[in-house]
């Protein structure tokens, strides 16, 4: 995928500085560690780690003589810090960093389906104690209907089948289904229940906020052996070559599409316009998606989608163009016998 180049590198520099300050105490605790292992632990490439080590060689205490600089020894692909120049402890969290970590851990502790929640709560307690954040007035609420999520979680833990009324956005329809829940999980900030759907006879993901009604059945959940949970490491929607590919020409105000949806191609066009290509579940969903966007969006391909959008928009305009039926105002009725003398010929008409 190609994307217009982004400007700015201050965040990358700040990230590297933080990494360098933590690198020395990390290596001091692991003398002779292999560079490949250290790079894996630190989440960088071996090349990036070697560049960081080369930079550390010219860092140290004021004076900047050879005896003031950080020193290290290499033995093949292993590295050992021989002089730390006083940088022998990891950075302490700032109050803002500690609070952000507390919020993240509290949300993780409340996330449905999280394994080993006790470990999360222990880590949370340590950070709150170290950062003097015990009892901090921070309320964490997961998106969606909490009661519905709790009902789904209870069904999973109790092994019960559920009857749900579910809205499918891709087809713009509401259906009744009986499902056998497998697990409740959070993906992309939304709660889902993954279950065997007896109607589809397959494993399906159901968004909690699209479940209009839920009833726990007396019968136990019966998940067939072929029911395998989805791999959601890359998100709920998994674009594949067999899905329709649409191409849109978008203006500046609609560039958020490239951040919210997985795009196969993003190219700079004329002026502020971008050409964006992405896979969709079907063209019916794509039609509603395009119609909900602003005026700075044009369908480039496929032609079928452009025609559907044009026809739907034209029908909507026609509906507004039909004038409302009108009735002539009722005139006061004047009885001829009550009309003034000489006015009988115009009785029933007023000026």
Claim to verify: residue 171 and residue 124 sit in the same structural domain: no
Dist. CA 86–CA 69, nearest whole Å: 10
Q: How many domains does the chain have?
A: 4
**Residues 305 and 251 placed together within one structural domain of the fold:** yes
- Domain assignment of residue 308, yes or no: yes
Residues 276 and 315 in one domain: yes
Give a yes or no: residue 173 inside a domain.
yes
Per-residue tens of pLDDT for the chain, all 351 residues: 445 444 444 556 667 777 787 888 888 889 999 999 998 888 889 999 898 888 887 887 776 666 678 888 888 889 998 887 777 666 566 677 777 777 777 776 666 555 566 777 777 777 776 665 555 556 655 555 667 888 888 888 888 999 999 988 777 789 999 999 988 887 767 788 889 999 989 999 898 888 989 999 999 998 888 888 877 666 667 777 888 899 999 998 888 888 888 888 999 888 889 999 999 888 888 898 898 888 889 999 999 999 999 998 888 888 887 666 666 556 555 444 444 444 333 333 333
Single residue among 220, 235, 270 that ends a domain in this structure: 220
Treating both helix axes as pointing N-terminal to C-terminal, what angle do 35-42 and 10-28 enclose, rounded to 10 degrees? 130
Domain shared by 108 and 152, yes or no: no
**Is residue 289 domain-shared with residue 259, that is, in the same domain?**
yes
Residue 57 belongs to a domain with what CATH number? 1.10.10
- 349, part of any domain: no
Return the number of other C-beta atoms located less than 10 Å from residue 53's C-beta: 19
Residue 179 shares a structural domain with residue 215: yes
Residue 279 lies in a domain: yes
Can you tell me the distance from the alpha carbon of 254 to that of 290, in angstroms, rounded to the nearest whole number? 11
Q: Which domain holds residue 121?
A: 95-131
- Is the residue at 331 inside a domain? no
Q: Which residue, 103, 90, 242, 229, is CA-closest to 156?
A: 229
């Amino acid at each position: 995928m190609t994307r217009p180049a982004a400007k700015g590198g201050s965040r990358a520099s700040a990230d590297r500085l933080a990494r360098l300050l933590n690198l020395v105490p990390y290596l001091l605790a692991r003398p002779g560690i292999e560079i490949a292992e250290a790079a894996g632990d630190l989440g960088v490439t071996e090349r990036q780690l070697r560049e960081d080590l080369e930079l550390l060689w010219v860092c140290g205490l004021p004076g900047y003589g050879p005896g003031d600089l950080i020193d290290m020894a290499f033995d093949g692909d292993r590295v050992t810090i021989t002089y730390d120049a006083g940088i022998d402890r990891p950075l302490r969290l700032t109050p803002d960093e500690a609070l952000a970590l507390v919020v993240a851990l509290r949300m993780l502790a409340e996330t449905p389906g999280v394994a080993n929640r006790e470990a999360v709560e222990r880590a949370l307690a340590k950070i709150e104690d170290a950062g003097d954040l015990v009892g901090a007035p921070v309320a964490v609420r997961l998106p969606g209907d909490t009661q519905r999520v709790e009902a789904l979680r209870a069904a999973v833990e109790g092994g019960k089948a559920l009857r749900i009324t579910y809205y499918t956005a891709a087809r713009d329809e509401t259906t009744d289904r009986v499902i056998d829940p497998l697990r409740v999980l959070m993906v992309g900030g939304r709660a889902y229940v993954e279950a065997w759907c007896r109607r589809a006879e397959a494993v399906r993901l159901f968004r909690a906020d699209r479940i209009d009604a839920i009833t726990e059945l007396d019968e136990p959940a019966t998940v067939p052996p072929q029911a395998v949970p989805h791999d959601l490491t890359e998100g709920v929607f998994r674009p594949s070559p067999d899905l329709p590919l649409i191409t849109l020409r978008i203006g500046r105000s609609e560039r958020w599409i490239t951040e919210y949806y997985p795009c196969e191609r993003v190219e700079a066009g004329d002026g502020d316009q971008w050409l964006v290509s992405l896979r969709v579940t079907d063209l019916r969903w794509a039609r509603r998606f395009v119609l909900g966007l602003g005026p700075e969006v044009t369908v480039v391909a496929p032609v079928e989608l452009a025609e559907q959008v044009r026809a739907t928009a034209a029908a909507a305009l026609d509906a507004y163009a039909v004038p409302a039926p009108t009735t002539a105002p009722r005139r006061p009725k004047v009885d001829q016998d009550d009309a003034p003398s000489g006015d009988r010929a115009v009785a029933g008409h007023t000026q």
